[in-house]
Amino acid sequence: MITVTIWNEYRQDKTVESIRKIYPDGIHTALKNGLESPDLNIRTTVLDDPQQGLSDEILDSTDVLIWWAHAAHHELTDENVRRIVEKVHSGMGLIVLHSGHYSKIFQALCGTSCSLKWRESGEKERLWCIQPFHPIARGVPETFVVPQTEMYGERFDIPEDARIIYMSWYEGGEVFRSGITLERGYGKIFYFSPGHESFPIYYQPEILQIISNAIRWAAPQCRGVINAPKVPNLEPIRSKE
């Protein structure tokens, strides 16, 4: 059983009528419904929950944290950023979605600005898998279309060790590294860009399949505290004598 926490800022999808029409119970609920599976124990939390939805009880029992945020990145406390980064270093999986590219947690884990170009145009996006044998791509066609999306374009300021799983091409001409993996400490991270709140992207089967695969991929295989221990020598050091 993998315990998944879907964390959503839950602001625009709570207050903006046109977005409420697409996600009447919030993006987190749509994702939960779309990802339900017998081997997953999925719960949702939101920014306005006690302790910003990130109590010790929740974080300590989370195998994979899914993160959707946009308008309130700055509200996440630095202490919660530190706690999440530490959890990832210790093995918790992290899936950062769409505008989460600019979240403090993703920036902290990347060590870069994570900036990109964007355009809210409702244009077509074509995704291409360039690692067809990667577990995140299992059961998903090599290429598929999101009919209407927000354009996210290069240059995406992410570190050089990001492994590209999906590339996107947009009707308006740009390209983007839309699905990338990183490893930090013992933790695995997947960033996936589709998911703009004004389009029903989290109901699309290919998108849900990729996130679902990413949960299994990011689930911790090993956990441990990252520290810098002082250690005794295992064998005699003769050159000192």
What is the per-residue binding string for Zn ion in 186-215, x denoting contact by CB under 5 A? Answer: ----------x-------------------
| 150 lines the binding site for Zn ion (CB under 5 A) | yes
* The one segment of 52-60, 122-130, 136-144, 145-153 that binds Zn ion by CB under 5 A: 145-153
Give the nearer residue to Zn ion in terms of CB position, either 63 or 150. Answer: 150
* The one segment of 14-22, 125-133, 142-150, 233-241 that binds Zn ion by CB under 5 A: 142-150
Give the nearer residue to Zn ion in terms of CB position, either 9 or 150. Answer: 150
Minimum separation from the CB atom of position 96 to Zn ion (A): 13
Minimum separation from the CB atom of position 213 to Zn ion (A): 23
Query: Would you give the DSSP letter of residue 51?
Result: G
Minimum separation from the CB atom of position 117 to Zn ion (A): 13
Residue closest to Zn ion when measured from CB atoms: 196
The strand pairing partners of 65, in sequence order, are: 5, 94
CB 95 within 8 A of CB 179: no
Minimum separation from the CB atom of position 150 to Zn ion (A): 4
* The one segment of 75-83, 97-105, 209-217, 227-235 that binds Zn ion by CB under 5 A: 97-105
* The one segment of 51-59, 77-85, 95-103, 131-139 that binds Zn ion by CB under 5 A: 95-103
CA-CA distance, 49 to 105, in Å (whole number)?
18
Minimum separation from the CB atom of position 152 to Zn ion (A): 8
Residues 6+ apart with CB under 8 A from 151: 117, 118, 119, 120, 121, 123, 125, 170, 172, 174, 176
Q: Taking the alpha carbons of 176, 178, 181, 182 in that order, is the dihedral positive or negative?
A: positive
Pairing of strands 93-97, 187-192: parallel
Q: Which of 231, 165, 160 is nearest to 192 (CA)?
A: 165
CB 141 within 8 A of CB 231: no
Binding site for Zn ion (CB under 5 A): 99, 150, 196
